Amino acid sequence: MKIVILQPLAIDKSQLDVFIKTLSDKGHELTSFDTLPKDKKEAIERAKNAEILMLVNYPFDKESIKSCPNIKMISVAFTGFDHVDTEECKKRNIVVCNAAGYATNSVAELTFGLIISLLRNIPKCNEVIRVGGTRQGLIGNDLYGKTLGIVGTGTIGLRVAEIGKAFGCKLLGYSHSERKEATQLGLKYTDLKTLLSGSDIITVHSPLNSETKDLISWDEFKLVKSTVFVIQTSRGGTINKEAFTDALNTKKIAGGGIDVFVQEPPVSLDNQLLKTTNSVMSPHVAFATKEALVRRAEIAFNNVSGWINGKVQNKVC
């Protein structure tokens, strides 16, 4: 089969060659690109003859799919898949699989990096010590004993709960379904309003879909404590950008830790979130560790092999 890897997988070439060999040795024709498409037109040109397409987070919309009539399967080397038009894929019987679970630990670890950075003023401390300053005005807060509200207790949310318990946090959860593993950790499931009003730290780990878009918006920010920290490492659209910006600027919340944005970085410099002073941000790096990227590629290639062999795994559409 003709397999096209649309964009770089961000792993060493030697490692990529090993993965490619697992399929080429079985007679499949693979084409891989080591640069991002410069635009949609180039992406379509790369993918137009593919029967199987592998991509990371490059947008592949209805027009792109319609322009590639031979595609039968898309392997998304990413957890989120909202950048692929799954409705169009359903119409065309195209199977879409994602790389679920590859970055569970990576995202959970960065979540706590952002939490601790905010609680202990680490970015400001770094600035101050370099210019001869002291801890004056930089007294922080413990994580121990805080109530950690976890919105979305899937694989990543559950891992966040496990780490939160190790730090001595009280755990609240809101999710479309309750998990026994979470309650065994001592997590108490509540409705969203109760979680928002009762948490010292709120961290969002929900996928982005029609039900979770703007899950936390203007009305929800009215419910939270003024001392709360809000962490966003899931998908940018689950928290309303304008409401989040307002909550930070007007001190409705104490601070925010933000790794994901509605617009994939580079984020427009007009984005008002970038101008908030009580936030710590990173350019969507929560998933980006060397170990996680290798796991991601391995899952993506295994998804392709599974589909070819009639054993579909990680199917999302």
The secondary element (H helix, E strand) that includes residue 53 is strand 52-55
Q: Which long-range contacts (CB under 8 A, 24 or more apart) does 76-81 make?
A: 76/300, 76/316, 77/9, 77/296, 77/297, 77/299, 77/300, 78/287, 78/296, 79/103, 79/287, 80/207, 80/208, 80/235, 81/316, 81/317
314 falls within a domain: no
- Identify whether residues 96 and 135 lie together within a single domain: no
Q: Which residues are catalytic?
A: 235, 264, 284
126 falls within a domain: yes
Per-residue pLDDT band at 28 (split at 50, 70, 90): very high
User: What distance, in Å, lies between the first and last C-alpha atoms of the chain?
Assistant: 21
- Identify whether residues 98 and 112 lie together within a single domain: no
- Identify whether residues 70 and 40 lie together within a single domain: yes
Question: Which domain CATH number covers 173?
Answer: 3.40.50.720
- Identify whether residues 41 and 189 lie together within a single domain: no
User: What is the number of structural domains in the chain?
Assistant: 2
- Identify whether residues 125 and 211 lie together within a single domain: yes
- Identify whether residues 158 and 60 lie together within a single domain: no
Per-residue pLDDT band at 80 (split at 50, 70, 90): confident
> And the tokens for 231?
């962490």
The values of phi and psi at residue 2, to 5°, are: -85, 115
- Identify whether residues 147 and 134 lie together within a single domain: yes
The values of phi and psi at residue 152, to 5°, are: 100, 105
* pLDDT at 255 (0 to 100): 98
- Distance from C-alpha of 229 to C-alpha of 222, rounded to nearest angstrom: 14
246 falls within a domain: yes
Sequence letter at residue 111: T
Q: Per residue in 177-218, pLDDT tens?
A: 999 999 999 999 999 999 999 999 999 999 988 999 999 999
Q: Which domain holds residue 13?
A: 2-102+290-308
- Identify whether residues 180 and 91 lie together within a single domain: no
188 falls within a domain: yes
- Identify whether residues 189 and 69 lie together within a single domain: no
- Identify whether residues 126 and 263 lie together within a single domain: yes
By CB atoms closer than 10 A (0-12, 13-18, 19+), residue 22 is middle
CA distances from 132 to 37, 125, 136, 137, 275 (A): 46, 11, 12, 14, 26
Radius of gyration of the chain (CA): 21
316 falls within a domain: no
315 falls within a domain: no
317 falls within a domain: no
- Identify whether residues 173 and 228 lie together within a single domain: yes
Coil, strand or helix at 95: strand
Q: Per residue in 236-283, pLDDT tens?
A: 999 999 999 999 999 999 999 999 999 989 999 999 999 999 999 999
34 falls within a domain: yes
CA dihedral of residues 238, 243, 249, 253 (deg, nearest 10): -60
- Distance from C-alpha of 217 to C-alpha of 209, rounded to nearest angstrom: 15
Handedness of CA 216, 221, 225, 230 (dihedral sign): positive
Per-residue pLDDT band at 293 (split at 50, 70, 90): very high
Q: Per residue in 137-155, pLDDT tens?
A: 999 999 999 999 999 999 9
- Identify whether residues 138 and 240 lie together within a single domain: yes
Give the mean pLDDT of 87-115: 97
